[in-house]
Structure 1
Amino acid sequence: MLIELEKVAKFPWSPWLAQIQTPFGRTAVRWCGDQTTEPGEYHVEWTVDEDIAWGRNVKPAVGVGPGVRPGGHCVVLRGRLDLTVDGAAVLDFDGTQILLDVADPLPEDVAGTWVELFIEREKIALYPYEL
């Protein structure tokens, strides 16, 4: 996914965080690239390092369409949820696929629906790459 990196910063209590802008929202997440990266456009891969559990950190979306926003100590990602045959899940985030580990089986009727993930910003990571 192509994002606009606004800045990379480090606070004493957190890992390196990137302030980013996407076509559908703005937030801060863990940055796994070079800490001296200059602002600009970058292609990134998203990872979520937390198991998801229905009703706890994944819920039906309030709206439709992709979205990202800060939510207190969390980042809220809105996308379409799909289930895999091996018990995992995938969030389709504007054409970008984010693989998710599932803590408990998800309800069968959530496949293909819009959901919101509420994940601590230190547990969502961006890995920049070059095409």
Structure 2
Amino acid sequence: MLIELVKVAKIPSSPWLARIRTPFGGTAVRWCGDQAAEPGEYHVEWTVDEDIAWGRNAKPAAGTGPGVRPDGHCVVLRGRLNLTGDGAAVLDLDGTQILLDLAAPLPEGVPGTWVELFLEPEKVALYPFRL
């Protein structure tokens, strides 16, 4: 996914965080690239380092369409949630696939729907790469 990097900063007792913008919102998440990265456009891979538990950190979305936004001390990712053949899940964030581990099976009817994930910024990571 192509994102706009606004700033990379270190907050005490936290990893390096990047303030980013996408066409569907912005937030701050863990940056796994060069700490001296200049503002600009970067292609990134997203990862989520937390098991997804329906009703705890995953809920039905309030709307449709992809979204990225802050919410208090959390980052909210909104996308379509689908299952893989091996019991994991994938969040489709505007065509970018984010592989997720599930803490327990999803309730019936959830796969294929719009969901929101509520995650700590340190648990969502961006890995920049060159095309």
TM-score tier by shorter-chain length is: over 0.9
Classify the secondary structure of the residue corresponding to 2:20.
Answer: strand
TM-score normalised by L of structure 2:
0.99
Contiguous gaps of at least 5 residues in structure 2: none
Percentage identity across paired residues of the two chains? 82
Structure 1 counterpart of 2:122, which letter? E
1:130 aligns with 2:124: no
Cα deviation code 1:102-126 (max 9, x no counterpart):
0011113111100000010000000
Q: What root-mean-square deviation, in Å, do the aligned CA atoms of Structure 1 and Structure 2 show?
A: 0.5
1:103 aligns with 2:94: no
Give 2:26's aligned residue.
26
1:69 aligns with 2:74: no
Structure 1 counterpart of 2:17, which letter? L
TM-score normalised by L of structure 1:
0.99
Cα distance in 1 for partners of 2:109, 2:65 equals 19
Give 2:10's aligned residue.
10
Cα distance in 2 for partners of 1:93, 1:55 equals 20
Question: Which runs of structure 1 show a deviation greater than 3 angstroms over 4 or more consecutive aligned residues?
Answer: none
Cα deviation code 1:30-76 (max 9, x no counterpart):
00000000000000000000000000000000000000000111100
Q: How many residues align?
A: 131
Q: What is the CA distance between 1:21 and its match in structure 2?
A: 0.3
Contiguous gaps of at least 5 residues in structure 1: none
User: Map of 1:53-68 to 2, 5 A cutoff?
Assistant: 53-68=53-68
